[in-house]
Each structure stands twice: as structure tokens, then as C-alpha cells.
């Protein structure tokens, strides 16, 4: 596994900066976790939350799932590049021109000497089933074909990888290459409720299938003992 990240990415899906801080402060100061900031927290707290997390030495995936016309995406990526996050994303459904614009905006906006963030694209959300994809998106192929199509155009556009379910990783790597990143949410420890997620695996399955990164939100953030659960998930994921 070329790009294996041993830390599960924790989805900080909180309604305020204070709630996110309260959660983070449960972790020991020397534990450098990998966190994901999504729309809920970013729209509430903005760049301040990113600076706070980076100052703590955390790795940060800014999950805004951009999807707009190429010109808007290029200029938005230029702005986001200045935040110094480790990973950002778009929707592959925005198309190849949009994804190329995202990449050039990201490169242009990255401060000189700085590291360009990894840029990935969402294929089909892990909350989407084949049935809902066909009904709501009017896509007339199987879900795996749609995911593979999005993965291939993402690679052609020069991005680093995709967001997908762990269930699709083997086929994506075969259709692209081993180095093409597969970031997989929809992770549920055995026995925990799936909620709105449809294409799920447990951390051990994601590891044996070949995911590079896993993203876990509610099973950790809503747990009575989040730090303990985080370590159980990390162990199942990284020591499998
Ligand atoms: O296809 C996708 C893309 C992004 N997500 C995000 O991951 C987390 C998952 O949270 P859970 O609480 O573990 O379900 C969440 O922030 C989503 O926005 C995804 O689930 N699926």
C-alpha cells in the first residue's frame, strides 16, 4: 500500500467552533490527529477553525465538495490554497474542465515553497445506493460503472484520487493505478448504526480491501468515550 494513512480521519461535523474545540480537547495535546472540516463547521467558523487546527499540528482535510463552473472553482481553489490544508475536494460530476480548473487554481494559490494540498473528487456519495442514483440522477448504468467512470475522468484531469466507498477500491485501483488515492467514508465499526450511509464497511474490511484513508464521523463524535473508540478504530484499521 503506497499511500496508507494510519490515522483514521475524524469528521468534525459540529455546529460551532466551541463544540469542535470541546471535542478536540478530549485528545492528549501530543496526539496529532487527522481531522476533516466539512460544510457545517466551515460555514459557521470559517478560516479561523483551519488556522486553529493547523496550529495544533493536525492534518486537515477541508471537505467542501466544490461543484460550480470552472472559472468559479479556479478562483475559489486559489483562495482555499492559502489556508495550508492537506487535502481539498470537488465533485467529479462537475466534469473534467472543472477539475482541471480546480487543480490550476490550487497550484496558483499555494504560497511559494508551500506544499500543494492533495486534490480529490467525490464519485458517488456513500449515502447513495444504485436505486437512488438511477431514480434521482437518471444515470442509466450500475453504481460501480458510474463510480469507475468518475474515477477515470478524475485521474485524466490530473487529480490525486477520489472519495468512494471502500467496497469500490479494488476496481478503482485496477481501472486507474495503485497510487491513485481512495479516501473512504461510510465506515462503521461492527455493531454501530449505519444512519444515512448506504455503502459501508468496517475499518478492518476497508484495510483489507485496500483503502488508503478512512473517514469516520458519528461513530467517534457521538460516542460516550470518543478517544477510546478512536483508538479501537485506529487499531482495527492500522494493525489489520
Ligand atoms: O461520499 C461521501 C463523502 C463525504 N462523506 C463525509 O464523511 C463523513 C462521514 O461521517 P459519518 O458520521 O461517519 O457518516 C461526513 O462528514 C460526510 O460529509 C461521506 O460520508 N460520504
pLDDT digits (tens, 9 = 90+) for 143-162: 999 999 999 999 999 999 99
Q: What is the pLDDT of residues 45-77, one digit of tens each?
A: 999 999 999 999 999 999 999 999 999 999 999
The pLDDT of residue 166: 98
Nearest CA residue ID for atom 16, ligand 1: 11
Which whole number is the average pLDDT over 11-24?
98
| 36 appears as a binding residue in the annotation | yes
Nearest CA residue ID for atom 3, ligand 1: 125
18 is a catalytic site residue: no
Q: Does pLDDT of 181 surpass 90?
A: yes
> Of 204, 198, 213, which is closest to residue 143 (Cα–Cα)?
198
Which whole number is the average pLDDT over 80-101?
98
Q: Taking the complete model, does pTM exceed 0.90, yes or no? A: yes
Which whole number is the average pLDDT over 212-226?
98
Q: Does pLDDT of 240 surpass 80?
A: no
The CATH code belonging to domain 9-238 is 3.20.20.70
Residues of the chain with pLDDT > 70, as a percent, come to: 99
| 185 appears as a binding residue in the annotation | no
Q: Give the whole-angstrom CA distance, residue 163 versus residue 151.
A: 9
Q: Does pLDDT of 239 surpass 90?
A: no
Q: Average pLDDT, whole number, for the chain?
A: 98
The pLDDT of residue 209: 98
Name the helix (H) or strand (E) containing 221: helix 218-221
The pLDDT of residue 103: 98
Ligand 1 neighbourhood includes 233 CB (under 6 angstroms):
no
Amino acid at each position: 500500500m503506497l499511500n496508507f494513512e494510519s490515522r483514521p480521519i475524524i469528521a468534525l461535523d459540529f455546529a460551532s467552533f466551541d463544540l469542535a474545540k470541546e471535542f478536540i480537547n478530549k485528545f492528549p495535546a501530543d496526539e496529532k490527529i487527522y481531522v476533516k472540516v466539512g460544510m457545517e463547521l466551515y460555514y459557521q467558523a470559517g478560516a479561523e477553525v483551519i488556522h486553529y487546527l493547523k496550529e495544533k499540528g493536525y492534518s486537515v482535510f477541508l471537505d467542501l465538495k466544490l461543484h460550480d463552473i470552472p472559472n468559479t472553482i479556479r478562483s475559489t481553489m486559489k483562495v482555499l490554497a492559502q489556508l495550508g490544508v492537506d487535502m481539498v475536494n470537488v465533485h467529479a460530476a462537475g466534469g473534467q474542465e472543472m477539475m482541471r480548473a480546480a487543480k490550476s487554481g490550487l497550484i496558483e494559490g499555494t504560497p511559494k515553497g508551500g506544499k500543494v494540498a492533495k486534490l480529490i473528487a467525490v464519485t458517488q456519495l456513500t449515502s447513495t445506493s444504485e436505486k437512488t442514483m438511477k431514480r434521482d440522477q437518471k444515470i442509466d448504468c450500475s453504481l460501480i460503472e458510474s463510480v469507475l467512470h468518475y474515477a477515470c475522468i478524475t485521474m485524466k484531469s490530473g487529480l490525486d484520487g477520489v472519495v468512494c466507498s471502500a467496497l469500490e477500491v479494488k476496481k478503482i485501483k485496477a481501472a486507474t493505478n495503485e497510487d491513485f488515492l481512495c479516501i473512504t467514508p461510510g465506515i462503521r465499526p461492527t455493531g454501530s448504526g449505519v444512519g444515512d450511509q448506504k455503502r459501508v464497511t468496517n475499518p478492518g474490511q476497508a484495510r483489507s480491501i485496500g483503502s488508503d484513508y478512512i473517514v469516520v464521523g458519528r461513530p467517534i463524535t457521538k460516542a460516550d468515550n470518543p478517544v477510546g473508540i478512536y483508538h479501537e478504530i485506529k487499531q482495527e484499521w492500522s494493525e489489520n
